[in-house]
Amino acid sequence: MGNQFGEITTMKQLTTLLIAAFGSITLLLLIAFSWPLTAPPVLEAPTDILIREVGIIDVATGNFVADHDVLIREGEITEISPHRITVERRDLLEIDGSGKYLIPGLWDMHTHSNTFSPRYQHPLFVANGVLAVRDMWGCMSEPDSFIACADVRNSWRTALESHTAIPPRYFGVSSFQVNGGTEVPSGYPDRFRADTVEKARSLVAYYADAGADFIKPYARLSPEVYRALAEEAAARGMTMQGHRPLAVSLLELIAAGQRSIEHGRPFLFECFAGAADFRASRDPVAAYTPELQQRLIAEYDPELCGRLIKALAASETAWTPTLQTMRMGALADSPELRQDDRLKYIPVLFKTLFWNPDADRKANEIRAARQGNVHQRLYNLALQQVGQAHRAGATILVGTDAFDSFVYPGFSLQDEMEALVHAGLTPADTLRAATLTAAQFMGVASRFGTVEIGKAADLVMLDANPLIDINHTRAISAVFYNGHHLNRNYLDSLLAFAETQASSLGSNLRILWSALNSPLVRVQFAD
């Protein structure tokens, strides 16, 4: 009996300890969750600016002119002169630009913003000279705790206009990804499933009334539904921008007038002998197996691919290759991927729950394969196809798919430009694609995309000439944005702020909570 009572007493003590430990951990987590987050760096008041004797990169022509003065008033370029500009007012900021190079702000044409982007993406974008983005995420009919819906982006625009924050400029409003129903949480209106022609037309009507600019098609759409989306979008003054549904041929997509096609695999899926059978398979997404990946290379038809690339070049469809999304697979088995110093800017939650598991799966595929790293070969083939498309005259947009695994906001735009040069674009071609071409695509080239009088002074000042080496766009001396002069010290403070947020327990708990409370995210990651 004594042993029995002793065991009961021990169990009670253990239970009490476990309850106390659980309560203590819960209390600590609640304190961390509610503890105020570190404030972003203080933004000084906007001012008029005069940059003296700076070199200017003309991205339209690829030429360079040295030693010009540039006058900025109220965030707009009002004068550019090879002679010394004389100003009557002295209450402006004068910057010595001698030995520096001025380029327009960079654009990332494929991003995914979140409700916490001001603490994560925005400082990394601006610190890397990325001052404009096309966001490829939208919402359905409800506000969302994780995805930045229209009301959230409007609050960022208001903060930019009132000079209380410096998010990048957001251009274009996307629908949520339209994927035939698998992406729709229960309880949402049935039109969002878009698994019939009628629902597809109803979905487009909804987004047109909601003020969206384009519909984002995704991988699982049927050809019939895709055509209905494209027809209804055109009838309502909208466009299609997004993925190529795997059951829809590239030629069908071009004929439907899709405005842009995203990611690096559209030609990989179309240029092998089994392409038609792959499109016709019951579930092309499930059919994308390691065996099929090997076939994409073994059965590659360069002549067929050449014809398809010419068709793209002859169309008004632009291509955003987002090569960084394929780079992860190519390097999944390499220490280079896991030892990147920029990982310090990524929230611990992302690295633990998403990035590392993604890379582990790819690395295991590589190790299990008998024919080497197929992802590296697919990446190299995509590089080759991007170069071909550029030489044929296709419009290439520069985007990264920021928020995807091992895609670093801001930094990866620099990586993408380097990859495009490796693909065969010149530094001038690449710089134009990341500035003027993006502004033209979005229909705002009258205000953005070049260093010209009358345009917004969204500018990046570099320490070296990017026409010689595209990597010189990484050597940022200062950013001029929305009437603010963001010097190197301020840009470094943005990076330090992002690094602090990435490791903050409170920040990571808030991200986790926002994800758990988002029906859209729960469905997406369960799919």
What are the φ/ψ torsions at residue 186 (nearest 5 degrees)? Answer: -65, 145
Cα–Cα nearest to 434, from 454, 448, 452, 424: 448
Going from the C-alpha of 390 to that of each of 258, 285, 424, 425, 473, the distances in angstroms are 18, 28, 8, 7, 21
Q: Give residue 8's pLDDT.
A: 47
Instruction: Please write the tens of the pLDDT for every residue from 239-253.
Output: 999 999 999 999 999
What are the φ/ψ torsions at residue 249 (nearest 5 degrees)? Answer: -75, 160
How sure is the predictor about 142, in pLDDT bands with cuts at 50, 70 and 90?
confident
* Beta-ladder partners of 64: 57
Q: Give residue 2's pLDDT.
A: 46
* 3-class state of residue 320 by DSSP: strand
Instruction: Please write the tens of the pLDDT for every residue from 417-443.
Output: 999 999 999 999 999 999 999 999 999
Average pLDDT over residues 99-116: 97
Looking at residue 185, what DSSP letter applies?
Answer: P
**Which residues touch 357 (CB under 8 Å, ≥6 apart)?**
none
**Helix, strand, coil share of the chain (percent; to 5):** 50, 15, 35
**Which residues touch 32 (CB under 8 Å, ≥6 apart)?**
505, 506, 509
**Does 235 score more than 90 pLDDT?**
yes
Tokens in use for 463?
Answer: 């320490």
Average pLDDT over residues 39-47: 90
Q: Give residue 116's pLDDT.
A: 95
**Does 146 score more than 90 pLDDT?**
yes
Q: Give residue 469's pLDDT.
A: 98
Question: What distance in Å separates the CA atoms of residue 338 and residue 346, rounded to the nearest whole number?
Answer: 12
**Does 521 score more than 70 pLDDT?**
yes
Q: Give residue 35's pLDDT.
A: 60
Instruction: Please write the tens of the pLDDT for every residue from 439-484.
Output: 999 999 999 999 999 999 999 999 999 999 999 999 999 999 999 9
Class of domain 104-461: alpha beta
pTM of the model: 0.93
Q: Give residue 5's pLDDT.
A: 43
Average pLDDT over residues 386-414: 97
**Does 407 score more than 50 pLDDT?**
yes
**Does 22 score more than 80 pLDDT?**
no
Q: Give residue 7's pLDDT.
A: 47
How sure is the predictor about 406, in pLDDT bands with cuts at 50, 70 and 90?
very high
**Does 141 score more than 90 pLDDT?**
no
Question: What distance in Å separates the CA atoms of residue 108 and residue 414, rounded to the nearest whole number?
Answer: 10
Question: What distance in Å separates the CA atoms of residue 178 and residue 187, rounded to the nearest whole number?
Answer: 17
Q: Give residue 368's pLDDT.
A: 86
How sure is the predictor about 91, in pLDDT bands with cuts at 50, 70 and 90?
confident
Average pLDDT over residues 505-516: 90
**Does 27 score more than 50 pLDDT?**
no
How sure is the predictor about 30, in pLDDT bands with cuts at 50, 70 and 90?
low
* 3-class state of residue 486 by DSSP: strand
Span between the terminal Cα atoms of the chain, in Å:
55
Question: What distance in Å separates the CA atoms of residue 437 and residue 397, rounded to the nearest whole number?
Answer: 7
* Spacing of C-alpha 37 from chain mean position: 25
* 3-class state of residue 282 by DSSP: coil
Average pLDDT over residues 497-504: 96
**Does 522 score more than 90 pLDDT?**
no
* 3-class state of residue 450 by DSSP: coil
**Does 36 score more than 80 pLDDT?**
no
How sure is the predictor about 175, in pLDDT bands with cuts at 50, 70 and 90?
very high
Q: Give residue 404's pLDDT.
A: 94
Mean of pLDDT over the chain: 92
Dihedral sign computed on CA atoms, order 272, 275, 277, 283: positive
DSSP string computed for 37-74: PPPPPPPPPP--EEEEEEEEEETTTTEEEEEEEEEEET
**Does 351 score more than 70 pLDDT?**
yes
Q: Give residue 34's pLDDT.
A: 59
**Does 94 score more than 80 pLDDT?**
yes
Domains of the chain, by residue range, sit at: 104-461
Looking at residue 147, what DSSP letter applies?
Answer: B
Q: Give residue 21's pLDDT.
A: 52
* Beta-ladder partners of 119: none
- Interior angle at CA 335, CA 400 and CA 300, nearest 5: 55
% of the chain residues with pLDDT over 70: 93
**Does 279 score more than 80 pLDDT?**
yes
